[in-house]
Amino acid sequence: MEKTWRWFGPDDKITLDMLRQIGVEGIVTALHHIPNGEIWTYDEVMKMKNFIESHGLRWSVVESLPVSESIKYAGPDRDELIGKYIESLANLGKAGVRTVCYNFMPVLDWARTDLDYPNPDGTTNLYFNRGEFAYFDCCILKRPGASADYDESTLSRMEEIKSRMTPEQEHRLVENIIVKTQGFVNGNITENDAAPVEKFRSLLKLYEGVDRDTLRGNMKYFLEAIMPVCNEYDINMCVHPDDPPLQILGLPRIVTCDEDIRWFLDAVPDPHNGLTFCAGSLSGGAHNDVPALARKYASRTHFVHARICNVMPNGDFKESSHLDPRLIDVIRTFERENPGVPMRVDHAPLMLGDEKMGYNAGYSFHGRMLALGMVSGIMAAVNTDNN
Pairwise CA distance, residues 237 & 228, whole Å? 12
Number of Cβ atoms within 10 Å of the Cβ of 313 = 7
362 binds ligand DNO (CB under 6 A): yes
Contacts of 376 (CB under 8 A, 6+ apart): 3, 23
DSSP state of 106: S
- Assess whether 33 carries a catalytic annotation: no
Using CB atoms within 10 Å of the CB of residue 85, give its burial: 0 to 12 exposed, 13 to 18 middle, 19+ buried: buried
Q: Closest distance between ligand DNO and the C-beta of residue 117, in Å?
A: 16
255 binds ligand DNO (CB under 6 A): no
Contacts of 149 (CB under 8 A, 6+ apart): 137, 247, 250
- Assess whether 322 carries a catalytic annotation: no
64 binds ligand DNO (CB under 6 A): yes
**Closer residue to ligand DNO in complex, CB, 45/108:** 108
**Closer residue to ligand DNO in complex, CB, 110/233:** 110
Cα→Cα distances 205→22, 189, 246, 251, 303, Å: 45, 15, 19, 10, 33
- DSSP assignment of 137-192 equals IIIIS--TTGGGGS-HHHHHHHHHHHHH--HHHHHHHHIIIIITTTGGGT-S--TT
Pairwise CA distance, residues 147 & 55, whole Å? 52
- The single residue among 103, 188, 236, 338 that binds ligand DNO, judged by CB under 6 A, is 103
- Annotated active-site residue in 73, 117, 297, 363: 363
Sign, CA torsion 284/290/293/298: positive
- The single residue among 5, 59, 85, 110 that binds ligand DNO, judged by CB under 6 A, is 110
233 binds ligand DNO (CB under 6 A): no
**Number of residues written out for the chain:** 387
359 binds ligand DNO (CB under 6 A): no
- Annotated active-site residue in 85, 114, 117, 305: 305
- Assess whether 55 carries a catalytic annotation: no
**Closer residue to ligand DNO in complex, CB, 239/311:** 239
Q: Closest distance between ligand DNO and the C-beta of residue 237, in Å?
A: 11
**Closer residue to ligand DNO in complex, CB, 110/150:** 110
101 binds ligand DNO (CB under 6 A): yes
222 binds ligand DNO (CB under 6 A): no
User: What residue type is 146 in one-letter code?
Assistant: A
Number of Cβ atoms within 10 Å of the Cβ of 271 = 13
Residues 285 and 245: beta-carbon distance below 8 Å: yes
Pairwise CA distance, residues 186 & 169, whole Å? 25
346 sits in which H/E element: none
User: Cα-flanking dihedrals φ and ψ of residue 169, to 5°?
Assistant: -65, -35
| Size of the residue set binding ligand DNO (CB under 6 A) | 10
Q: Closest distance between ligand DNO and the C-beta of residue 73, in Å?
A: 17
- Annotated active-site residue in 240, 272, 302, 322: 240
109 binds ligand DNO (CB under 6 A): yes
102 binds ligand DNO (CB under 6 A): yes
- Assess whether 305 carries a catalytic annotation: yes
- Assess whether 257 carries a catalytic annotation: no
Q: Closest distance between ligand DNO and the C-beta of residue 184, in Å?
A: 9
**Taking CB under 6 A as the rule, which mask of x and - marks residues 165-204 in contact with ligand DNO?**
--------------------x-------------------
- Assess whether 346 carries a catalytic annotation: yes
- The single residue among 157, 240, 272, 368 that binds ligand DNO, judged by CB under 6 A, is 240
Stretch that binds ligand DNO, among 44-52, 95-103, 117-125, 248-256 (CB under 6 A): 95-103
- Annotated active-site residue in 135, 346, 354, 366: 346
The site for ligand DNO (CB under 6 A) is made up of 63-64, 101-103, 109-110, 185, 240, 362
- Which positions are catalytic? 240, 278, 305, 346-347, 363
